[in-house]
Amino acid sequence: MQNEEEVEVVELEYVEELDKALNHLLDEYQIIRAGRANPHILDRVLVEYYGVMTPINQMANIQVAEARMITISVWDNSQIKNVSKAIAMADLGVTPTDDGKIIRLVFPTLTEERRRELCKQVKKLLEDTKVVMRNARRDALEQYKAFKKDSKISEDEYSSLEEDVQKELDKIIEKAEKASQDKEKEIMEI
């Protein structure tokens, strides 16, 4: 009975690692801009707000005003310059402009060369994620091998678990590859 629980714990940890890796990939893809304005590009930009590093979305309204423009309405007008400066320092490929009330980010259309660079970045993120997923598979299989060595599971159980681990990996890699293809398609769209 205890052996089944140990096997289940390994399985749950493995699936959790795969999900974490996929979610990280999807988060990274959200940040990559594809010519259209995407408010998630500002998710990692922090502004010093009364001595505390604060995300912009916790101190302003962020809206997509047009297909290629984001407007940022800072709640505390005294912080507009700080927010502008933080966006400029973040090197997002856009220059913030403000009129003292609203900050505007206008995204230029992407050149063919820049689109290809972004597609390479998308592929690299996918490959890095696959490596993380394969490492999780290796770790799970090593734990199962240790159980087999300690006679906690039989050879047949090990074979069955090995198949299950591979099926789970194949399923999640398929999702990651689909997300990658969708992102590349979005980037190459004009």
pLDDT on residue 142 = 93
- Write out residues in the chain with pLDDT < 50, as ranges: 1
pLDDT tens digits, 74-85: 898 888 888 888
**Distance between CA atoms of residues 146 and 52, nearest Å:** 47
pLDDT on residue 190 = 61
pLDDT on residue 141 = 92
Give the chain's domains with CATH numbers. Answer: 2-31+111-188 (1.10.132.20), 39-106 (3.30.1360.40)
pLDDT on residue 166 = 94
pLDDT on residue 1 = 47
Q: What is the pTM of this model?
A: 0.74
DSSP 63-109: EEEETTEEEEEESSGGGHHHHHHHHHHTT-S--EEE-SS-EEEEPPP
Q: Are 21 and 132 in contact (CB under 8 A)?
A: yes
pLDDT on residue 33 = 66
pLDDT tens digits, 111-125: 888 888 889 989 999
